[in-house]
Structure 1
Amino acid sequence: MTPEQQSQQERTEQATPKRLSEARKKGQAAKSMDLTAAVGFLGMVAVLAFTAERLINVSLNYIVVSLSDLSAVTELNYSFSHLLVHGVSIFAAMVWPLLAAALVLGAIANIMQVGFLWSGDPLKPEFSRLDPLEGLGRMMSTRALFDLAKALGKLLAVGFAAYLGLRGEMQNLLLAGYSEGAGSFALVGRVLYGVALRVGVTYLVIGVIDFLYQRHEFRQNMMMTRQEVKEEHKQMEGDPQVKARQRERQRLLATGRMFAAIPTATVVVTNPTHYAVALRYEREGSSGAPQVVAKGCDYLAQRIKARAAECGIPLVENSTLARSLYQQSEVGQEIPVALYRAVAEILAEIFSRQRRLI
């Protein structure tokens, strides 16, 4: 098994939007040049169907005028140059609608496949392609042989369509040589139009099949390994392990700051086991509400109560208030307005005790 085949087998994950976006920026997209060419060719055939009669008349008129000019003008150099310029102008007038139809419809077909896509990456020179050994390897690769087989298959299909179109018209083409000028041109034009239409429809079917194949191959090439998906996720959202460590570090820092602020608390409101909330209230020179300086649940609540006891901070058991303070307030913020009255009663009791002790 080749390394490419082994790598392809490891790619089990669908391409992420980021990978598809990066590929699009590089000009990589699922498209079929055969489909674009087939639509453009059928556009030329359609224009030809509406302009065939005029083209035949213009061509016959040019032939008649050319022959009359050659017979009337003795200066052949002037006559040939004049006829050449006139012929080129007529040819350009005949061809430009066909080319315009092919370009416009081809561009529309391309936009329908890949949207509005422009990238300069495909135009950048790849000097590795100049290596004759690598070039020989590419020529003999399975991919090159497959592309060759596809090209031969398309050529055979188009050739067979043209053969079927001509097979029933061979007798008419032979008779065209015995017809008058206008009739002969009309007959040949009708036959060629029928052949071109048959070839165009066949080529369009080939183009649709090729587009479906190109889309499937593009999706296969864009598939990713699980490791690639993980790496992309890390790049876009950060390594989950690193983020977890950062959150833990931030939590420890916040906990350290919180415990450092406990000695400044006025009271710690607790329930027997689960919650502990330390509040600070400055009676003098403060117009604000009591502020939460620390809070915790379970093990952290026990640590807060132990630290408060070490610092001589009063502990007040009030299960309902402790739970409400823990759930509705954050460290560093003032308590909610709805809890003012309950907290004020506790503070009043504490201040009253302190006055009696004095």
Structure 2
Amino acid sequence: MSQQGAEERSEQATPKRLSEARDKGQVAKSMDLISAVGFFGVMVAFATTAGRFITYALTYLIRSLSTFAQHTARDAGFGHLFGEAVASYIFMVWPALLGALVIGVVANVLQSGFIWSLDPIKPELNRLNPIDGLGRMFSTRALFDLLKAMLKMALVGYAVFSGVQAELGRLLQSGFAEGMSSLVLVGRVLWVLALRVSLVYVLIGIVDFLYQRYEHKKNLMMSRQEVKEEHKQMEGDPQIRAKQRERARLLATRRMFSAIPEATVVITNPTHYAIALKYEENSGGAPTVVAKGSDYLAQRIIAKAKEAGVPIVQQPEVARALYRQVELGREIPLELYRLVAEVLAVVLSRGGGL
């Protein structure tokens, strides 16, 4: 059954489906990449503020040790000293934390853009379904997460091992050096190891992001029936549209026939075309086509004109020209003025009047 469902989902997601998923907060996003970039940002922030950090830390450590012995845990001075220690710690680490926060937000926005949606945090009862839970445990995503965790452990272990191995000689020699030189060397080695680990995390994050994009597109794929249903919702059901067009056509025909009694003349082919013209001498405008039709519709126009007493003139050339060149409700063009004027003259000669 699942195989059949997978075969049915053969169409790429439409822009409408992608937009709906985005509105629900369903986008391709790698939390590993965000964490990795944030960790890398911490490393950069520490690197740029390392001198100030170490100087301040050593100064505060020496001052604290000299005053700590003068107080006990029950002294008021001890509480003040503890509060000062916490404030100093925050002062030392805030650049790194702020850098990690900013870089993490930027990495998030670069992956999926700015999204505001509460759907991801809404409680869903189907998440409590044990059968669905077992399905998620043995899904492709779970297998990928397992392989990713194993790869992460292996690469981080290799990065740390190779880094320590490369610096092992200098670390052993530092045991015979002065205290400050040893601290500087150890700090440099720790920095190199942290940089290696952060680069490993970034690499794994990129791989995870590519997989998230693949899985996101796969999960949003649609069956042909879903595409058809969406097209119907956006464009409307073809049968309903056909009925609407038929209703509009009937309404237009009804309006057209209601205008025939007010026409000045009906020009015919005599059987294939019929065009009803309305001309108001004092309006200053040209004659207007108020009704037109061919074959059966032409016969109905002629019958309606006879019923209303509208003059009918047989002029095949003029009828064909009007039918082909002038739309319903439009005035006749300049090049047809002479031909239509001759027809109107015929109407006047018969005593039709304008």
Bucket of the pairwise TM-score, normalised by the shorter protein: 0.7 to 0.9
- Residue deviations 1:191-239 (CA, integer Å, cap 9, x gap): 0100111111121111122212211221222222222222222222222
Corresponding residue for residue 160 of structure 1: 158
Q: Rate the CA distance shift 1:323–1:163 in 2: closer, same or farther, 3 A.
A: farther
Q: Please give the secondary structure, in 2, of the residue aligned with 1:14.
A: coil
Corresponding residue for residue 7 of structure 2: 9
User: Is residue 346 of structure 2 the alignment partner of residue 346 of structure 1?
Assistant: no
The question of whether the paired residues in 2 share the 8 Å contact of 1:56 and 1:186 is answered with no
Q: One-letter code of the match for 2:148?
A: K
The question of whether the paired residues in 1 share the 8 Å contact of 2:71 and 2:78 is answered with no
Q: CA deviation at 1:88?
A: 2.1
The question of whether the paired residues in 1 share the 8 Å contact of 2:291 and 2:328 is answered with yes
Which consecutive residues of structure 2, in runs of 5 or more, have no partner in the other structure? none
Q: Please give the secondary structure, in 2, of the residue aligned with 1:169.
A: helix
Q: Rate the CA distance shift 1:294–1:77 in 2: closer, same or farther, 3 A.
A: same
Q: Please give the secondary structure, in 1, of the residue aligned with 2:207.
A: helix
Corresponding residue for residue 31 of structure 2: 33
Q: How far apart, CA to CA, are the structure 1 residues paired with 2:72 and 2:304?
A: 120
Q: CA deviation at 1:104?
A: 0.7
How many equivalent pairs are there?
A: 351
The question of whether the paired residues in 1 share the 8 Å contact of 2:267 and 2:274 is answered with yes
Q: How far apart, CA to CA, are the structure 2 residues paired with 1:52 and 1:286?
A: 90
- Residue deviations 1:123-152 (CA, integer Å, cap 9, x gap): 212233234454344334443233223222
Q: How far apart, CA to CA, are the structure 2 residues paired with 1:83 and 1:177?
A: 34
Q: CA deviation at 1:22?
A: 1.1
Q: Please say which of residues 5-14 and 244-253 is displaced more in the overlay.
A: 5-14
> Which of 189, 194, 197 is the aligned partner of 2:195?
197
Corresponding residue for residue 314 of structure 2: 317
Q: One-letter code of the match for 2:250?
A: L
Corresponding residue for residue 228 of structure 1: 226
Q: Rate the CA distance shift 1:175–1:325 in 2: closer, same or farther, 3 A.
A: same
Q: How far apart, CA to CA, are the structure 1 residues paired with 2:27 and 2:34?
A: 14
The question of whether the paired residues in 2 share the 8 Å contact of 1:56 and 1:185 is answered with no
The question of whether the paired residues in 2 share the 8 Å contact of 1:43 and 1:105 is answered with yes
Corresponding residue for residue 46 of structure 2: 48
Q: Rate the CA distance shift 1:163–1:349 in 2: closer, same or farther, 3 A.
A: same
> Which of 290, 295, 298 is the aligned partner of 2:292?
295
The question of whether the paired residues in 2 share the 8 Å contact of 1:269 and 1:321 is answered with yes
User: Is residue 105 of structure 2 the alignment partner of residue 107 of structure 1?
Assistant: yes
Q: One-letter code of the match for 1:113?
A: Q
Q: How far apart, CA to CA, are the structure 2 residues paired with 1:300 and 1:85?
A: 96
Q: How far apart, CA to CA, are the structure 2 residues paired with 1:265 and 1:77?
A: 109
> Which of 169, 179, 182 is the aligned partner of 2:180?
182
- Residue deviations 1:254-312 (CA, integer Å, cap 9, x gap): 224434544554432133565321224567x8776544332013443344345556766
Corresponding residue for residue 170 of structure 2: 172
Q: One-letter code of the match for 1:17?
A: P
Q: Rate the CA distance shift 1:276–1:297 in 2: closer, same or farther, 3 A.
A: same
Q: One-letter code of the match for 2:20?
A: E
Corresponding residue for residue 87 of structure 1: 85
Q: Equivalences for 1:127-142 in 2 at 5 Å?
A: 127-142=125-140
Corresponding residue for residue 118 of structure 1: 116
Q: One-letter code of the match for 1:106?
A: G
Q: How far apart, CA to CA, are the structure 1 residues paired with 2:103 and 2:45?
A: 12
Identity of aligned residues (%): 59
Which consecutive residues of structure 1, in runs of 5 or more, have no partner in the other structure? none
Q: One-letter code of the match for 2:127?
A: R
Q: Please say which of residues 39-48 and 133-142 is displaced more in the overlay.
A: 133-142
Q: CA deviation at 1:320?
A: 3.9
TM score, norm. by length of structure 2: 0.85
Q: How far apart, CA to CA, are the structure 1 residues paired with 2:248 and 2:72?
A: 99
Q: Rate the CA distance shift 1:56–1:291 in 2: closer, same or farther, 3 A.
A: closer
Corresponding residue for residue 214 of structure 2: 216
Q: How far apart, CA to CA, are the structure 1 residues paired with 2:58 and 2:256?
A: 100
Q: Rate the CA distance shift 1:119–1:150 in 2: closer, same or farther, 3 A.
A: same
Corresponding residue for residue 206 of structure 1: 204
The question of whether the paired residues in 2 share the 8 Å contact of 1:268 and 1:278 is answered with yes
